[in-house]
Amino acid sequence: MNFKKSNWLAWILFFLLSLIWGSSFMLMKIGLESFSAYQVASIRILSAGLVLSPFLWKAWKAIPSEKRGTVILSGWLGSFFPAFLFCIAETRIDSSLAAILNSLTPLSTILLGVAFFQLAASKEKWLGVIIGLIGLLVLILPSGSGMSNSSLPYALLVLLATVLYALNVNMVGRKLQGIGSLEIASLAFSMLTPAAFLVLLNTNFFNIPTTGINYWKSFIAASTLGIIGTAFASILFYMLLKKSGPLFASMVTYGIPFVAVILGWLGGESIGLLQMGALFLILGGVYLANKK
């Protein structure tokens, strides 16, 4: 009975994260209508840190001193750098394309797990990785995919973000078992707020006129991205990670691209058959690589 309850909770967390993170790509796009990529990412991190800051003292006392550095590193790898990489990427590629590329996270998790975290690599895992990489190659081909040669470097920024996510997933799954999800998120994001504030200062964010509906539309989108899509979602993700392990947790990227693609289509983005075919190839590879 306990196993079944735990299993149901894992799937509830899975679907909630798919909806929240699937929406985050469109929220980034809305934020970029009035702010720079650096400003949107900084608002995201800063708002998440401020929301979680009341829990910082409790988190500091609850987390063993020898693990605090790992928690702080987790914030940089799993949130800070990816936030900037995604926002910069979305200045040149569609939000739906960014979400499809993000679905490579489980394959990155496997590759890094094999290389650095003693993850067993079966033939099915390697075949799944190869299929996923074929999907990636189909996606980044300039002809027919909607991606030009000039936008390719921005797509590679998303791939770099998936590598950072994979490092974080493997590290948290191995080193931070037994630490509460709220404590991990509170310490990690509270430690990121000074850096995010400094970025806003150096990009003249506080000199931007606050009049006009577009400013507040973008500001609300970026803040929602931080409060719901980062702070709240990170707590849910750490819960899922500790209950189900790094591979199942990284598989939340199954649901994310479908939510993002639907929202992108509703927002006027062009979704081609080649892109959808690449998405199914990638997710098919992810399924095979994680099949027990």
Least confident span in 188-192, 236-240, 250-254 = 250-254
* Average pLDDT, integer, range 94-116: 81
Residue 19, domain member (yes or no)? no
Chain mean position to CA 115: 22
Residue type, 66: E
Cα angle 153, 157, 159; round to 5: 110
* Average pLDDT, integer, range 160-179: 85
Residue 265, domain member (yes or no)? yes
pLDDT value for 43 = 96
Cα angle 18, 120, 16; round to 5: 10
* Average pLDDT, integer, range 8-26: 87
Q: What is the pLDDT of residues 128-168, one digit of tens each?
A: 778 877 877 777 665 445 556 667 889 899 999 999 988 88
Quote the pTM value. 0.83
Is the per-residue pLDDT at 171 higher than 90? no
Residue 129, domain member (yes or no)? yes
* Average pLDDT, integer, range 91-119: 81
Residue 217, domain member (yes or no)? yes
pLDDT value for 1 = 36
User: Is the distance from CB of 98 to CB of 254 less than 8 angstroms?
Assistant: no
276: Cβ–Cβ under 8 A, 6 or more apart, which residues?
A: 261
User: Is the distance from CB of 121 to CB of 266 less than 8 angstroms?
Assistant: no
Q: Sign (positive/negative) of CA torsion 128, 22, 277, 143?
A: negative
Domain that holds residue 147: 32-290
In whole numbers, what is the pLDDT of the chain averaged over residues? 84
Q: How many structural domains is the chain composed of?
A: 1
Residue 11, domain member (yes or no)? no
Choose between 78 and 282: higher pLDDT: 78
pLDDT category of residue 111 using cuts at 50, 70 and 90:
confident
Is the per-residue pLDDT at 3 higher than 50? no
Residue 78, domain member (yes or no)? yes
pLDDT value for 257 = 82
How far CA 77 is from CA of 19, 34, 82, 131, 182, in Å, comes to: 22, 27, 7, 26, 18
> Rounded to an integer, what distance in angstroms lies between the CA atom of residue 133 and that of residue 128?
9
Residue 5, domain member (yes or no)? no
First to last CA, the chain: 22
How far CA 74 is from CA of 87, 169, 176, 259, in Å, comes to: 19, 9, 10, 26
Chain mean position to CA 48: 14
CA nearest 252: which of 102, 129, 132? Answer: 102
User: Is the distance from CB of 260 to CB of 20 less than 8 angstroms?
Assistant: no
Is the per-residue pLDDT at 244 higher than 70? yes
pLDDT value for 268 = 79
How far CA 60 is from CA of 45, 50, 132, in Å, comes to: 19, 16, 40
